[in-house]
Structure 1
Amino acid sequence: MSNFMRIALVVFLLSGCTFASSSSMPYKAWTLGFSAPDYMEVWIETADVVDIQDHVFQRAASGIASMQAPPNNAGNPRGWPKRGPAGGGKRVTGADLPQQIYVRWQSLVEPQTYLMVIKIPEATREIMRKGEKVFCAADGKWITGYRDSIGIRLVPGGIARVWVGGPCMTPIEVTTVKAVIDPRGPYEGKSGGHHRPLSAASKAYVEKFGVPYDSWK
């Protein structure tokens, strides 16, 4: 079975949304966030979650991934960050911890539309359940912290790197995933092949410096 067919099967399964209890984790909800390198704009058409109770949460996240575009091309999009960014996040309310995250997004600097399924193993969920004593410099207190967020960095070429983190906690990198191109194009083929427009700042950077694909290998 091809990668696209596997992803298409997941899309077929993501046809409903049922709410579950969050009994397997020590907090009420976890957060799903997305980011992109400087100027490398990303539009998330949908990020759907299947939790460990096999309940589906459609459009758990969507919209613009967190990104900076410093003026005068002063930013640097090259490479992966040493400390995984949480990105613009949304709490996945009512869900248990995830087993799979399905993402369909537009990489606007290419432009290209990608599909991927991120499988979350039990080892990652154990990290998310584990509490640690940590000092929070912001308020000068020791707390029991949890890595209750999943941060996903999306880069041109259809590559995603995933971290788990939380307030006052050091993020832990858990996986890197290579997506496939969605042959239907943007918006599942409903836009006549038209992607969202690129911002002026991103367009100016790409026209001058190009897209540094080699920095994300």
Structure 2
Amino acid sequence: MRKRSYMLKTGCALLFALLGGCASYESRSLPYDAWSLNFFNPDYMEVWIETADVVDINDHVFRGAGSGIPSTGYPRGLSKGIPALFKGDAKGWFEHPTGKGRYVTGADLPRLVYVRWQSMAEPQTYEAYIEIPQSARNTMLKDEAAFCGAVGKWKTDYRKFLTVGLAPGGVAKVWLGGACLQSTEVTRVQGTISPKGPYGGTSNGKHRPLSEESKAYIDKFGIPYGSW
């Protein structure tokens, strides 16, 4: 048992030397198990997230913290064909976005989020480095009293949902919210065009296809640049 303990300590010391530290739950400053990294896009402005990576305040890197299709209002997941009436509106952001994503297990408070995504509405591939301000991290540590509709009573909640909205033109905007707390704005970042293009340059410049419904919306109303 003593030998195994020694080996674990030695292994952690080696990782510390190679990677800059061993993350552990005991070393983190969070009052909860983990915070969640979520994404969404405006109606019909479809997005494919190639990768989202996180650097926490201890400089630990969490690669692949997000990927795939984010949350959106329209088109609906099971919708087919072009509707007679477009019920969504691509202009601006949702009032209190929640997004879709996953918990960044083992991370301390976030310092930086890197995201590379395909904006299929244009199409174009963007990347953005989102620095999370200290004021936001302070908010993530603060407990708040909130009425939780899901259980029908007041409870203590934390703003542990970091939600990123991705829009055409390379715009990335960030909110903080909780299960029972409405989202508040944190920061807005202007991303840049990814020099390698979609899929890191492995697809000969081809982006994922836009859905038939979103294409019809854009053909009719255009892309509302400047509204995000």
* 2:117 matched residue in structure 1: 105
SS at match of 2:218: helix
Instruction: Work out the percentage of aligned pairs sharing the same amino acid.
Output: 57
Structure 2 unmatched ranges of 5 or more: 1-18, 76-82
Alignment partner, residue 51 of structure 1: 56
Q: Are 2:104 and 1:78 aligned?
A: no
Q: 1:48: how far off?
A: 0.2
Paired positions, count: 200
Unaligned runs of 5+ in 1: 1-15
Name the counterpart of 1:168: 180
Equivalent in the alignment of 1:21: 24
Q: CA deviation at 1:68?
A: 2.4
Residue 126 (1) aligns with residue 120 (2): no
In 2, distance between residues paired with 1:188 and 1:132?
A: 42
Deviation string 1:93-130 (CA, Å, 9 cap, x unpaired) is: 11111100000000001000001100012211110010
Matched residue, 1:90:
102
Query: 2 CA distance for matches of 1:197 and 1:50?
Result: 31
Instruction: Give the 4+ runs in structure 1 shifted more than 3 A.
Output: 16-19
- Residue 150 of structure 2 corresponds to 138
Alpha-carbon deviation of 1:17?
10
Q: Secondary structure at the match of 1:48?
A: strand
Distance 1:18 1:188 in 2: 29
> What per-residue deviation string (whole Å, max 9, x for no partner) do you get for residues 116-165 of structure 1?
10001221111001001111122122211000010001110001110010
C-alpha distance in structure 2 between counterparts of 1:47 and 1:120, whole Å:
14
The normalised TM-score by structure 1 is 0.88
- Three-state SS of the structure 2 residue aligned to 1:101 is strand
TM-score, length of structure 2 as denominator length: 0.84
**What is the distance in 2 between the residues matched to 1:17 and 1:157?**
35
Cα distance in 2 for residues equivalent to 1:203 and 1:90: 29
Distance (Å, rounded) in 1 between the aligned partners of 2:153 and 2:46: 37
Q: 1:59-80 CA distances to partner (integer Å, 9 max, x unpaired)?
A: 1000011112254322111112
Q: 1:142 to 1:73 in 2, by over 3 A?
A: same
3-state SS of 1:213 partner: coil
SS for the counterpart of 2:210 is coil
Q: Which of these two proteins has the greater Rg computed from alpha carbons? A: 2
- More divergent stretch after superposition (50-59 vs 137-146): 137-146
**Comparing 66-75 with 153-162, which one deviates more in the overlay?**
66-75
Match of 2:197 in 1: 185
